[in-house]
Amino acid sequence: MDGFRAWNREFLKWLTESDFGKAERAEKNNHGSFTCMLVSAIALFVDNKQLVQQEAASIQHDINETISPDGALPEELQRTRSWHYSNFTLLALTRLAMVAEKAGVDLWHYSGPQGQGIFKAVEYLLPAATGAAAWASKDIQFERYAAADIIRAAADAGHKASQLAIDTIELPPEGDLWPLRPAPEQLEPVKVKSGQITK
């Protein structure tokens, strides 16, 4: 295990200091969110809680810029798979919130100057995720169940609207795996169906 931790420390150094890692972290979309989550998860594994706390503070600024007051993710809504990428970004943010919690930081309840936050972004997905309304943006391969784990994670974190929605969300074809691995996963296929073009 010592060797594996040492390797992760080296990888973490590369991820935070290389031009590639810095460029990915600077992105204001799923790339930036996933890089922040990855840095935080590895930092927690190698017992660098200070770095986790720094990343959690940094993502708050990103949340202010990338999540609209109504909870939409404008950068992702421009894509041909806006539902997929909105969920994909929230997959990173919900995982990050779970990691940050272990370092004493509550990202779940963070609210920006205009109310931006993870819970607000989850609320934006709820009407389409529960079938109460159609997804208003373009998505060439809409899978309602893509939001299931994100909603489960938010519900476990105390989000009332998600708790109320649990019984109405569509589960993925393989069933509800949340009780076995209570952490959000990407549930729908990345590859689009034959004949469809993605951005």
CATH 2.160.20.10 is held by the domain 2-168: no
Interatomic CA distance for residues 141 and 194, integer angstroms: 11
CB atoms under 10 Å from CB of 23, counted, come to: 12
| Helix residue ranges per DSSP H, 67-145 | 74-77, 82-101, 118-130
Structure tokens at 175: 């069933």
- 91 Rama sector, left if φ>0, alpha if ψ -120 to 50, beta otherwise: alpha
Tell me which amino acid residue 156 is. D
Domain residue limits, the chain: 2-168
Quick: pLDDT tens for 8-60. Answer: 999 999 999 999 999 999 998 889 999 999 999 999 999 999 999 999 999 99
Quick: pLDDT tens for 56-103. Answer: 999 999 999 999 999 999 999 999 999 999 999 999 999 999 999 999
